[in-house]
Amino acid sequence: MKKPGELNPEEDSLHIPGLIKQGEGESLEFKFEIAETKKIARTLVAFANTSGGTLLVGVKDNGAIAGIRSDEEYYMLEAAATMQCRPPVPFSVKLHDIEGKMVLEVNIPKSDNILHTAPDKEGHFKVFIRKEDENLMPGGIYIRLHNKRKEAKGVTIEYSDREQFLLHYLLENETITLNQYKRKAGVSKKMAESILIRFVLLDIISMDTTEHGHLFRLNDEQKLKKILAKGDGFNIT
């Protein structure tokens, strides 16, 4: 991979300003400089674990172009991607000359079937994902759901009182959290997670990750009504 000093800067008056105009979001982040490898590793991992993304180095949070100061920015980036990401996160770079100021465009592809980890503020390696313009730690249920999706197995749910309660609750309420379901249904955390994951895999319930945790909501009301119309004592596959 070519390093900034080996790249021919692209004089592009439209591409970078066009990206900046979009503003930071789920697939775009601005960095004035790369000063800490652990912090930038969290962004690399979050992009790779979600939908991929672009990092613009030499751009302030308000979108003002400041330019990178030296090739050191690249070496910090490379150290973050290879030493602070497990497994390492691949990336590609382009150097742009915007009226004499150099902006480093870093493109991170989505990683298929892999969850990368990076150090949290305490130095523990955790999974991060991208939500709007934030890097979030989704926790264990997200990882278990990801691993279940990789398995080439069908999904079967025993339609007992605990499953009925969840479905009827979501017909009457917009969302439920893991802890709410655990408490209201009187089941263990492990059982609550298992049931929620299975309904997500069946595409009946969706899981929305927020900075405060996960929200589960009804995804397909018509499919759910067909299931409920069948009555008790059957398996959903």
CA-to-CA distance for 47 and 127, rounded, in angstroms?
Answer: 11
Return the pLDDT at 234. Answer: 41
Q: Rounded to the nearest 5 degrees, what angle is found at the Cα of 139, between the Cα atoms of 137 and 141?
A: 145
The 10s digit of each residue's pLDDT in 187-209 is: 999 999 999 999 999 888 999 99
- The CATH code of the domain that includes 91 is 3.30.950.30
Return the pLDDT at 6. Answer: 55
Which residue in the block uniquely carries the two structure tokens 């613009």? Answer: 56
Indicate whether 126 and 14 sit together in one domain: yes
Phi-psi region of 59 (alpha: psi -120 to 50; beta: other; left: phi over 0): beta
Number of domains in the chain: 2
- Boundaries of domain holding 68: 4-136
CA-to-CA distance for 152 and 18, rounded, in angstroms?
Answer: 42
Indicate whether 132 and 166 sit together in one domain: no
The 10s digit of each residue's pLDDT in 157-184 is: 888 899 989 999 999 999 999 999 999 9
Token code pair at residue 226:
């067909």
Return the pLDDT at 4. Answer: 56
Among 29-33, 79-83, 145-149, 232-236, which stretch is predicted with the lowest mean pLDDT? 232-236
Return the pLDDT at 237. Answer: 47
pTM of the model: 0.86
CA-to-CA distance for 32 and 12, rounded, in angstroms?
Answer: 19
Residue 30: what residue type?
F
- The CATH code of the domain that includes 224 is 1.10.10.10
Return the pLDDT at 7. Answer: 56
Return the pLDDT at 152. Answer: 64
Which residue in the block uniquely carries the two structure tokens 């996160």? Answer: 89
Phi, psi at residue 101, to the nearest 5°?
A: -110, 130
Indicate whether 117 and 130 sit together in one domain: yes
Indicate whether 126 and 12 sit together in one domain: yes
